[in-house]
Amino acid sequence: MSRQKDHANLFDDARSRLEEVCEALEVHDDVRERLMQPSLSLQVSVSVRMDDGSLRVFPGWRVQYDTTLGPAKGGIRFHPDVNQEEVTTLSFWMAVKCAVVDLPYGGGKGGVKVDPKRLSRLELERLARGYIRAVADIMGPDRDIPAPDVNTNATVIGWMADEYDHLARRKVPAAITGKPTALRGSYGRVAATGRGALHVLDLWAEQEQRKPEDTTVAIQGFGNAAYHFARLAHERGYRIVALSDSKGAIRSENGLDPDAIMERKTQNQRLHDLVYCDESVCIAEDVEHLDRDDLLALDVDVLALAALENQIHANNVDQVQARALLEIANGPVSSQADERLNERGVPVLPDVLVNTGGVIVSYYEWMQNLTGERWSEETINERLKEQIVREGRRVLERAEREDISYRQAAYRQGIERIAEGILERGNCQDTE
């Protein structure tokens, strides 16, 4: 059962996790066969006319991993390290997570290899629109519905939505989610990933009979998912004692106020109308300053990982002192590190449950766009809580009942649902 190999490659790592789950569930061979590779991968070149008149071409991808349970769903990432393998793996995780929380979606993901912080606002808009022109043929409300991910906030998604409407020659709001509310985006989507993660942390804390005020939390990352998680967890009474971003980390044993730090971090952004924040959490005063990765080794109750993949791996896992890990990012703990934490009895609350708040509210946005309804923020937040707590509780109970890790339990819940769909579709199915 246990994997011996140290996988050099993210997708091999993910597939090896899938193999393990398929074996444990004794799924039909058709299921394993279908889920071992994506059903559609599109590679594109996005040409952008730069402000200085030169032309630059950025590679991009859109991958639809599996569409058994519904149209492909998943964000678009702008990052200098994005590649096809990463996008494919992220699309696989989307398929699993949508099934874990019982959404009528398959998994998809997109990416463009670019450092977006080096582009002007207009160059960025041309890139966002160019990407949509390149992938529009495989998009659509019943086919593939993109959304935000790293470095694609509501502003960027708004440009993409507008470009899709131009191509379609009509309004198609349900073709992409995470839009600004003025363009029929949903209330509550911006904070949804962090809010959902907090509900899962609460579930675990309740099970452990642990009070928020007695629980210290360190958070890696201070972007969309991390900030809203930090803000809401602070409001609930958890003690946020450390934060980091790509430039550094800060710590205070007395606790940090995420809103005050975000205020300082984004001061210049508002003054200069920037799409991204160029400042760091390190701008905060009266706190201890640490090297960025020192945060991962702090002696805290909960280490929340909300930046990128593979942050805890074979080489640093033994330095982790936290009593539990909360995976808000996708894939922040490698499978080797995961096994080691399991051996040490350190629970890992897995990404495919913890960060589903974003896609759940994207689903609510899509439903509102299809019906023309507008739900209040209160309604959205209540529905999100009901759905993530219901499915999260099933995962935690299954882990206890079957004496397996939370990750194993979540994967079993998701893969079982996809497997049932694959088999119900019949013997001569087309994957598209």
Binding site for substrate, residues? 73, 97, 362
Torsion of the alpha carbons at 346, 88, 414 and 373, rounded to the nearest 10: 110
Is residue 246 a contact residue for ligand NDP (CB under 6 A)?
Answer: yes
d(CA 42, CA 138): 9
**Total chain residues near ligand AKG (CB under 6 A):** 13
Binding mask 362-401 for ligand AKG (x = CB under 6 A): x---------------------------------------
For every residue of 259-277, DSSP letters joined together read HHHHHHHTHHHHHHT-SS-
Q: Which does 74 bind (CB under 5 to 8 A by kind): ligand AKG, ligand NDP, none?
A: ligand AKG
Q: Which residues are annotated as a binding site for NAD(+)?
A: 193, 224
User: Which residues have a Cβ under 8 Å from the Cβ of 131 and sit 6 or more positions away?
Assistant: 44, 46, 60, 76, 110, 112, 160
384: region left, alpha or beta (phi > 0 left; psi from -120 to 50 alpha): alpha
Is residue 75 a contact residue for ligand AKG (CB under 6 A)?
Answer: yes
Residue nearest to ligand AKG (CB): 75
Other CB atoms within 10 Å distance of the CB of residue 415? 25
Among 292, 313, 393, 398, binds ligand NDP (CB under 6 A): 292
Would you call 385 a catalytic residue per the annotation? no
Among 358, 392, 414, 421, binds ligand NDP (CB under 6 A): 358
Are 212 and 189 spatial neighbours (Cβ–Cβ below 8 Å)?
Answer: no
Pick between residue 74 and residue 258 the one whose CB is nearest to ligand AKG.
Answer: 74
Q: Which does 186 bind (CB under 5 to 8 A by kind): ligand NDP, ligand AKG, none?
A: none
- State the Rg of the chain over Cα: 21
Tell me the closest approach of the beta carbon of residue 146 to ligand AKG, in angstroms: 7
d(CA 144, CA 360): 16
Other CB atoms within 10 Å distance of the CB of residue 315? 10
Chain contacts with ligand NDP (rule: CB under 6 A) = 148-151, 193, 220-226, 244-247, 280, 292, 306-308, 328-330, 355, 358
Catalytic residue set: 109
Chain contacts with ligand AKG (rule: CB under 6 A) = 73-75, 94, 147, 149, 177-178, 330, 355, 358-359, 362
